[in-house]
């Protein structure tokens, strides 16, 4: 038995249980679950619009959804990448999340509909995200964006893509990122950590689904020696020169240890970082957004993003976080 926080334990039956090996059923079940999410009601007007932006060379355009709070000055921006194990999800998956973030952090939010595996394995999804960032950096001023203050964030597979995007920007000399916000990110296809081996029956994500997800994304290369760090950022030898990071890890999550290890390596590389670690939680527990535990996590995420995007200084951790600096 797992010692879940009481408010989460009371709601476990409300969560979908899926087997990613049956991908059509998984996609249908998760679309249905997203359709039942409670609508978020912004406290102020948020303009929402879909558009197609130029894709990577030789690839189709990328669908994005832009959320613009009413403002009379240039605003920072957040590119937000949806969850879904690299194989499921679309613009609807984090629609309510993006509305909430645009409202509460006072920023333009760009929701990216990147291509999915196995139909489009690595690097298709990542290159779509990179193309969306390049478009935002080039055209953002027309959206009222201060292009010197762009952050990237995501959840689960989206968190892994956000980390990979930060690495790609550094290595390619791409548009500068102000922050990276990684919620229970999928970072390591090897699945050799204690948590990745131990949690075979946990809610929302378990070892089996993680294994299947990485095989869809990387094919036969998954778990081998030749995987690109842009596919699995935990494999990167050098994490120096990356933007300040917030990394969230949940106690009963197969991805817990890879997230914590990555966060510690960022700190050791001199990257200003905050670690959010929440006992009694499980992967993607923020889906139960009306619980006190989920609200605590979401408030922490919002405050860090708001502080970092609206200050000229690197964001300072609030009580309970781990400050960055040379280890």
What is residue 54's predicted lDDT score, i.e. its pLDDT? 98
How far apart are the C-alpha atoms of 281 and 260, rounded to whole Å? 15
What is residue 182's predicted lDDT score, i.e. its pLDDT? 98
Evaluate whether 218 touches 189 at the Cβ level (below 8 Å): yes
What is residue 37's predicted lDDT score, i.e. its pLDDT? 87
278 is catalytic: no
Structural domain spans, the chain: 6-310
What is residue 312's predicted lDDT score, i.e. its pLDDT? 64
Q: Where are the alpha helices (DSSP H) in the chain?
A: 6-9, 23-35, 95-105, 124-139, 157-172, 194-198, 207-218, 256-268, 292-310
Please identify which of the residues 156, 195, 213, 273 carries the catalytic annotation: 156
How far apart are the C-alpha atoms of 177 and 170, rounded to whole Å? 9
Q: Between β-strands 62-69 and 75-81, what pairing exists: parallel, antiparallel or unpaired?
A: unpaired
Taking phi first (over 0 means left), then psi (-120 to 50 degrees means alpha), and beta for anything else, what does residue 144 get? left
Q: Render pLDDT for 142-182 as a digit per residue (tens, 0 to 9).
A: 999 999 999 999 999 999 999 999 999 999 999 999 999 99
Is 243 in a helix, a strand, or coil? coil
Please identify which of the residues 82, 95, 278, 283 carries the catalytic annotation: 283
Tokens of 258: 């890879």
Q: Render pLDDT for 12-50 as a digit per residue (tens, 0 to 9).
A: 998 999 999 999 999 999 999 999 888 999 999 999 999
156 is catalytic: yes
DSSP state string for 206-218: -HHHHHHHHHHHH
CA distances from 211 to 63, 120, 196 (A): 28, 18, 10
How far apart are the C-alpha atoms of 222 and 272, rounded to whole Å? 30
* Fold category of 6-310 in CATH: Rossmann fold (3.40.50)
What is residue 311's predicted lDDT score, i.e. its pLDDT? 85
Q: Give Cβ neighbours of residue 259 (< 8 Å, ≥ 6 apart).
A: 182, 184, 185, 187, 247, 248, 249, 253
Is 133 in a helix, a strand, or coil? helix
Omega cis (within 30) before 189: no
Q: Give Cβ neighbours of residue 98 (< 8 Å, ≥ 6 apart).
A: 65, 67, 80, 109, 111
Low-confidence ranges of the chain (pLDDT < 50): 315-327
What is residue 69's predicted lDDT score, i.e. its pLDDT? 97
């Amino acid at each position: 038995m797992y010692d879940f926080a009481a408010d989460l334990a009371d709601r476990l039956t409300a969560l979908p249980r899926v087997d990613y090996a049956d991908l059509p059923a998984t996609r249908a079940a998760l679309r249905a679950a997203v359709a039942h999410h409670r609508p978020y009601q912004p406290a102020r007007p948020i303009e929402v619009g879909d558009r197609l932006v130029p894709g990577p060379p030789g690839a189709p355009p990328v669908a994005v959804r832009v959320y613009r709070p009413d403002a009379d000055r240039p605003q920072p921006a957040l590119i937000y990448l949806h969850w879904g194990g690299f194989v499921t999800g679309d613009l609807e998956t984090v629609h309510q999340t993006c509305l909430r973030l645009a409202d509460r952090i006072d920023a333009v939010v760009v929701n990216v509909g990147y291509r999915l595996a196995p139909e489009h394995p690595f690097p298709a999804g990542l290159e779509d995200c990179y193309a969306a960032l390049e478009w935002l950096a080039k055209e953002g001023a027309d959206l009222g964006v201060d292009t010197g203050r762009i952050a990237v964030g995501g959840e689960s597979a989206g968190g892994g893509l956000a980390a990979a995007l930060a690495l790609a920007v550094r290595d390619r000399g791409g548009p500068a990122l102000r922050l990276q916000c990684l919620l229970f990110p999928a970072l390591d296809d090897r699945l050799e950590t204690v948590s990745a081996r131990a949690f075979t029956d946990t809610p929302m994500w378990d070892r089996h689904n993680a294994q299947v997800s990485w095989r869809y994304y990387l094919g036969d290369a998954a778990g081998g020696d030749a995987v690109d760090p842009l596919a699995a950022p935990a494999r990167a030898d050098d994490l120096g020169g990356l933007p300040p990071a917030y990394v969230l890890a949940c106690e009963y999550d197969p991805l817990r240890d890879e997230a914590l290890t990555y966060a510690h390596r960022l700190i050791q590389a001199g990257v200003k970082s905050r670690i959010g670690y929440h006992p009694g939680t499980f992967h993607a527990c923020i889906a139960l957004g009306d619980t006190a535990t989920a609200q605590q996590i979401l408030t922490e995420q919002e405050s860090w993003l708001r502080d970092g995007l609206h200050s000229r200084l690197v964001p300072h951790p609030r009580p309970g976080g781990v400050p960055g600096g040379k280890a």
